[in-house]
Structure 1
Amino acid sequence: MPDGKRRDEVDQRAQLASANPNAGVPERTEPLVITDDVPSFKHSPLARPERMIRLLKIKRGLLRADPVDCELVHFDINSAPTYGALSYCWGPPPDNLKLLCNGKVFYGRRSLEQALKRLRAGFRPGQREEYIWADAICINQQDLDEKDAQIRLMERIYSGAATVYVDLGDMEGQKFSVDGYTVQFSGGGGMGAPDTLMGSDDPGHPLHYMTIFEALSQPWLTRTWIIQEVTLAKKVKYMLPGNVFTQEYLDSILSKESMLAHPDRQRELMSSNALMRGYMNYQKLKTIKSHNGKMDSLQLIQLTRDFSATSPEDKIFGLFALLSDADRKAIGPYSRSVEHVFRRFAALQVHLGRTITMLDSAGLQRRRRDGVNLPSWVPDWTAQGKSPKVISTLRPTPYSASGPAQTYTELVGDGTGSGGIIVRCLVIDTINTVAHVHTAPLTPSGQPDFLVFHDKFRATFDELIHQRGSVYTNNEEAFARLLLMDDMYTGRDAILYSSPILNPAATYRGAVAAWRERRGHGNFGGRKMDAVETYQMQASAAAVGRGFATTQTGYIGLVPPCAEVGDLIVVVLGATVPYVVRKTQGGYLLVGDAFVHGLMYGEVLERPTKDLQPLDIVLV
C-alpha cells in the first residue's frame, strides 16, 4: 500500500470457508441476480427535510459481483449515529444499474454502484462507520424542494461525518512501470489485487508517488461538488483500486516542500496536462480549507472556475456549503433556471460591493458556445475555464488603469438587476482595427503555436506604424511589452523558476528566434528558465486566445476574441484594467477586459478634464 502497510481485501468467501470447517468452499459460487419482478424503490418523504437526513447501511456481499444491497434509514441530523460520507464523480447517465435498497430496486449510475462496492470490499468490519451518506441515493433527486433543503444541510452533513471516503473511480486496465515494478489496476467493483504495492514498503519508492499521481489525473479532481465535500471533512480516506490512503499521506507526497526536494517528481508532474490540472486543483482545495470558511463567495467561485459541473446551476449550488447563510438566502432556492441563479448571484456581488472584481469574469468573451440567455454583466460560470485569462490577476502586482478613482455602480430595475447595471466610466478610445486568431495548430507540447498569433499581430502593428505612426516613443519596446502584458518578472512579479526580463525588446527578438527554431517554451523540468524562456512562457499565457487591436488615437492592445471594429475602450472607475464595450439597444454590452499599452497606470487621469468627463452607462 502507499503507506507501506499490508492490507487484504475483505473476501467473504474465505471468511465463510474458515468459519465452517466442513465446507471447503462457500455454498454459492454464482453472484446474486436481481430479477425483473422486484418492485422499484421509491423514497419515503422526510418528515422535516430541513433537519433530517437518510443514511444507508451497506450489507456484506459474498461475491464481488453481488449487487449492492443496503438499508436506507431516516435520522434527525442532531441525533444521527456516527456515519461516513461518500465523495465520488457522478459520471454520465444512464441510471440503469440495479441496486437493492430496502429490498427494492434502486436504479443508479455505474459510478455509484462501483463506489459502494469498493466501500463494501475495502474495509473489514469495524474499519469504517456502519452508516454512510451518499447524495445520489440519500437525497430524492426528483424532489427539488427536498433537494434544496438537503443542499442547505450539506455543510453539517460533510463536516459532521466521521470520515469522508473519496472514490477516485475505475482504472481498469491502466498500468505504469517504474524501477522494474509494474502496477496494473483491475476493476470489477472490488479493491483490485491485494497488496498492489507490496514490492516496496519504502514510502519513498517511486511506486508510491506514482500512485498518488494516478489519483491526481482522475476526473474526480475536476468536479465542482467535491470541493465542499473534502474541504469540510474532518478526516478523508481516498480509495483507488488496490489502495486506500489518507489525506495526510497525499499531502506528504504533494506538499510544496516535498515537490521541491524531488525534481524528478516535478518533471513527471509537468509532463502531463491532466496531472498539472489535478495538482493545481489539489492546491486550490488546500487554499480553501486553510480559509476555514472565511473566503467570500466571489473569491471562491473565481478560484474554482476550472472545476466542472454537469448542471450549470451547480457551479453555484455545488459550493453552497461553503457560503454564508446571508449569501445562500440572497441566491434563493435550488432552481433549474441557470439564468435566474447566475443573475441573483451577480446581483449579490453588486450589493456586497464586488462589482469590479465580478466584471473581470463577465462579458461576451466568457460565454458558452451553445449560448446562455444572460446579461453581459452577469458571469457565465460554466464558460470560465476555456476563456482568456483574467488580466487583472495575471500578475501579483495589480494594474491601476483608473488610478485612485472611486467606483460607482447601481442595479437597474429590481434587486436582481432586471434592467441592467449602471457603471461610471471614462470613454477612452475606439477600436480602429482588430486582428483575431481563433484557431492555431498545436505544438508538440500541446499548446497553440504562438508564432501564428505573433505573425498576424505583428503584421497589423507594422501596418499601423506605416500608415499612421503611433503614440509610443519606442515602438519595438511597446510591442514587446504588450505581448507580456507588461509583466517582466521583476520584484513582486518574479517567481521561483523565472528570470527577470530587463530588456524587453532584445528579449522579444530572442524569443521570436527561439520560436522559429522550435526551441524553448516546453517542459523545463523544474530548472530555472532564462529570460528568453520566461518571455516565451509569459507571452503565451498573456496573448494566446486574445485579439490584437489598434485604436483611433494610435494605441495598441490585447482585446477579447470577440471584439470588433467600432467597439469602445472604457475605464470603469475603480477598475484596474480597461474594458471593451459595444453600443446596443437600451445600453451597452460588456465585451470583456483588455490590456492597452500606455493606459494601465492611470495615464488617462493626466488628460485635461474638459477632454474626459465621467459617463454613466448601463450594461445590459
Structure 2
Amino acid sequence: MSSQKTIFRRFPVGKGQFRVLDILPASQESGENAPIRCQLRVASLFDPPDYEAISYVWGNQDSENEIQIEVSGEAFNTTKNLHAALSRLRLQHKTRTVWADQICINQKDSAEKSTIVPLMRQIYSRCRQGLLWAGEIPQQMDPAHVESLFEFLKYMADGGTTDTPAPQCMASEAAFRGPISALVHLMAGQGSWFSRIWTVQEAVLPKEAVLLLGSQSIPWSTLIQATKTYTTEIPQDVFRVCGYEYAEGPIAGLIAVLVWLNSCKYDCKPSSAMQQWRGRQAHDPRDKVYALLGLFPPGTLPRVESCDYEIPAAEVYENLTLDLITDEQSLWPLVGNPRLKPVRATPNLARWAVDLVGVPIHEIEYWHHTYDSMHFRADGGRRMEFRHQNGMLGLTGVFVDTIERVEPGLMLIGKHASYELLAEILQRWKSTGPDEEAFGRLITNDLVRDAVGDPVQRASAADAHEAMEYLRNRTGKEWIHDQILMTVKNSVYFKTKSGLIGRGHLETQAGDEVWVFNGGSVPFTVRPRGSSKPVDNDLEYDFVGYSYVHSIMDGEAYERGIESRFIWIH
C-alpha cells in the first residue's frame, strides 16, 4: 500500500480527534465511471459530524490488488474491495461522509494505529449508520439470486404474518437453489465479510446498520428480526424451505452467526468472546485481540487496551490471558484452552496463555469444558491470587498426586464415532480397574445434560450406573452415547500413584502432577521442569491443561490438610 505520508502530515490528528472522508459526487460527464475523488478532514469525536462507518474486507495487500483514487488532490492507492465500496456509496449530486480505516488511519504508522484503534468503539458507535460492505456480486452469480435471498430474509423477518405474498423463490425446491447459492457465497465465499475478525464489532456497535452486497442491501435490523422468527414460531412455508437438504445448513449457519453477533450487544463476556470469534481471520495476529476490544467498556482489559503494535503477538496474548483471569477472578480462561501444536502456535508464547492465532485441527469442545467447570468447586471457593514474571504465571495451590499411567484417548476430528469404537476405547480405560461408579461419573463428567448437551445438574449414582449399562450392553437412553462421546473425546485417561482416576489434555503423560489452584474450579495438570533452577526457591512447571479427577472436584484436596504452595508455570 502507498504510504501517502504527505497526506497524513497535512491532516494530523490530536487527542479526541479522527479523520473522516468526504466522497465527492461523480462528475455529470463521466457518471458512474468517473474516478473516485475524496477529501480528507479532521473531526472531533466529542462533536462528530454526520458520517457513516464502512465495514469491509481489505483483501490481499499487494500491488495487484490496488486501485488509485484521489484524496485531497493526491493519488492514493486503495484495495479493490474498498474502491468498489466507495464506487457504490458515492452519491450523484452530493457529498457523502464516511469513515474507512484504510484511508482515515495512517496504516504505516504504528504509533498512530495504537492511538486510533482504541477509539474504534467510539467511531463505530457514534456513526449515523454502519455500512457493512460484503463486496460485489461475483460474475458467475445471477444478481437476481441475491435479490431473492434478501426478499426471503425480509419475508422471514415479517414472520409470514403480513399480507405480502411469499417471494417467488419459495415456490419450489428448484427455485430456492439460487438464493441459497447466494447465501453460501455471502457466508463462506473467498474473503467473506463474515470471515473477518474486525467485522464483529463493526456490526455490533453502530446504532443502525445495513448489509450491502453489490447493488442489493438489507437493514441489519431485518436480519436480526429474521433470527427471532427462525428461533421462535417459524411459519410453515418458511419452515418448509428451510428444511430442504441443501438449504438447512446455510440458513442455520447464518442464523447462528446473527444470534452470536446480536448477543454481543447485551451480554458480552471477554473470555467467551475471545474464544467464540477466534476462528475469524486477521492479517495481523494481534488484531485477534484488538479487533474485539470495542465490545467491552474501557478498563475491562487494561493490559491490552492500548493496542500496542510495537510488541509481539506472544506478549499481547499473555497480557490478554492475565486480563481475562483478572476479569473473571478465576482460572476459568485456562479451562479447555485448545493449545495449538508447536508448528502452528504463536512463537515464544507461554503454554498457559490463550493462543488465538488459529483453531486446532482436532475439535476440543471449548464451550463444553468451560461451562462444565462451573458445576465444580475443586478449590473450595478460595480467592484467586496470581503473579506474572518473565512470561511465567505464579499460582498458589495444593499438590494432589503424580500421574503414573496414561491410556490414549479418542482423537476425533468431527462429532461422531460409532458405539464400537467408543466402547473399545473406554474398555481399555476400564481395564485399569477403577471403581464402577467412579468410572461412570468420569465418562459423563459427573453431570446430567439436557437434550442439546448442556449440563443441568451433577450426576447421581443412578446416572453413573446408567452410563455403565450403556457401555456394557448398549441399553438405556440413546442420547447417552453422544453425551459420553462429548465428554471423553480428545482427552486421555490417567491414573495416579495413589489410585485416583481422571481425564486430561491430549499431551498428558506419566510423571505429570495434578494440582488444585486457588481460583480453579477444576484441577490442572502440570509437568515438572527438572532442568530449571527454582525461582526464589519456588518450583517451576510447564502447563499441560485442565483435568477432571474423580473425588477431588468439590474441595476435597484442601480438606486433607496439605499446606498450600506457590509455584511458577511456563
For 1:346-386, what per-residue CA distance to the aligned partner results, in whole angstroms no more than 9, with x for missing partners? 33445556341232265856877244212223222334666
For residue 50 of structure 1, what is the aligned residue in structure 2?
15
For residue 137 of structure 1, what is the aligned residue in structure 2?
103
Structure-to-structure mapping, 1:301-450, within 5 angstroms: 301-327=274-300, 330-331=303-304, 332-336=306-310, 337-349=312-324, 354-360=329-335, 362=337, 364=339, 369-383=344-358, 388-390=364-366, 394-395=370-371, 398-412=374-388, 417-418=389-390, 420-436=392-408, 440=412, 447=415, 449=417
**Conserved 8 A contact 2:444-2:467:** no
1:221 maps to 2:194: yes
For residue 251 of structure 1, what is the aligned residue in structure 2?
224
Taking a change above 3 Å as real, the CA distance of residues 228 and 154 of structure 1, as seen in their structure-2 partners, is same
Letter of the aligned partner of 1:543 in structure 2? V
For 1:142-179, what per-residue CA distance to the aligned partner results, in whole angstroms no more than 9, with x for missing partners? 0111111111221221111101011123452676xxxx
Which deviates further from its counterpart, 355-364 or 308-317? 355-364
Letter of the aligned partner of 2:504 in structure 1? V
**Conserved 8 A contact 1:49-1:149:** no
For residue 173 of structure 2, what is the aligned residue in structure 1?
none
Taking the aligned partners of 2:315 and 2:399, their CA distance within structure 1 comes to 31
Paired residue secondary structure (1:600):
coil
Shift of 1:90: 2.6
Shift of 1:583: 0.8
Number of equivalent positions:
526
Taking a change above 3 Å as real, the CA distance of residues 202 and 137 of structure 1, as seen in their structure-2 partners, is same
Shift of 1:565: 1.7
Letter of the aligned partner of 1:596 in structure 2? V
Taking the aligned partners of 1:39 and 1:374, their CA distance within structure 2 comes to 32
For residue 487 of structure 1, what is the aligned residue in structure 2?
447
1:541 maps to 2:503: no
Taking the aligned partners of 1:167 and 1:452, their CA distance within structure 2 comes to 49
1:552 maps to 2:497: yes
Letter of the aligned partner of 2:210 in structure 1? K
Taking the aligned partners of 1:514 and 1:168, their CA distance within structure 2 comes to 49
For 1:440-463, what per-residue CA distance to the aligned partner results, in whole angstroms no more than 9, with x for missing partners? 5x6xxx645466862563243143
For residue 40 of structure 2, what is the aligned residue in structure 1?
72
Unaligned ranges ≥5, structure 1: 1-37, 176-183, 187-191, 516-529
Within the candidate set 516, 524, 536, 1:579 is matched to 524
Letter of the aligned partner of 2:525 in structure 1? V
Aligned-residue sequence identity (percent) comes to 20
Letter of the aligned partner of 1:73 in structure 2? R
For residue 15 of structure 1, what is the aligned residue in structure 2?
none
Letter of the aligned partner of 2:406 in structure 1? V
Structure-to-structure mapping, 1:6-85, within 5 angstroms: 43-45=7-9, 46-60=11-25, 62=30, 68-85=36-53
For residue 85 of structure 2, what is the aligned residue in structure 1?
115
**Conserved 8 A contact 2:55-2:131:** yes
Shift of 1:404: 2.5
For residue 604 of structure 1, what is the aligned residue in structure 2?
557
Taking the aligned partners of 1:245 and 1:501, their CA distance within structure 2 comes to 54
Which deviates further from its counterpart, 253-262 or 387-396? 387-396
Structure-to-structure mapping, 1:286-301, within 5 angstroms: 286-291=262-267, 295=268, 297-301=270-274
Paired residue secondary structure (1:252):
helix
Shift of 1:124: 6.9
Letter of the aligned partner of 1:420 in structure 2? M
For 1:89-114, what per-residue CA distance to the aligned partner results, in whole angstroms no more than 9, with x for missing partners? 23333253213122544333333233
Taking a change above 3 Å as real, the CA distance of residues 172 and 452 of structure 1, as seen in their structure-2 partners, is farther
Shift of 1:328: 6.1
Shift of 1:241: 3.3
Which deviates further from its counterpart, 331-340 or 597-606? 597-606
Letter of the aligned partner of 2:227 in structure 1? L
Shift of 1:341: 1.7
**Conserved 8 A contact 2:443-2:484:** yes
Paired residue secondary structure (1:557):
strand
For residue 149 of structure 1, what is the aligned residue in structure 2?
115
Structure-to-structure mapping, 1:493-504, within 5 angstroms: 503=463
For 1:11-40, what per-residue CA distance to the aligned partner results, in whole angstroms no more than 9, with x for missing partners? xxxxxxxxxxxxxxxxxxxxxxxxxxx997
Shift of 1:51: 2.7
Taking a change above 3 Å as real, the CA distance of residues 551 and 124 of structure 1, as seen in their structure-2 partners, is farther
**Conserved 8 A contact 1:570-1:579:** yes
**Conserved 8 A contact 1:421-1:619:** yes
1:164 maps to 2:109: no
What TM-score, normalized by structure 2, do the two folds share? 0.78
Letter of the aligned partner of 1:312 in structure 2? P
Shift of 1:233: 0.5
RMSD: 4.2
What TM-score, normalized by structure 1, do the two folds share? 0.72
Taking the aligned partners of 1:66 and 1:502, their CA distance within structure 2 comes to 75
Shift of 1:330: 3.4
For residue 106 of structure 1, what is the aligned residue in structure 2?
76
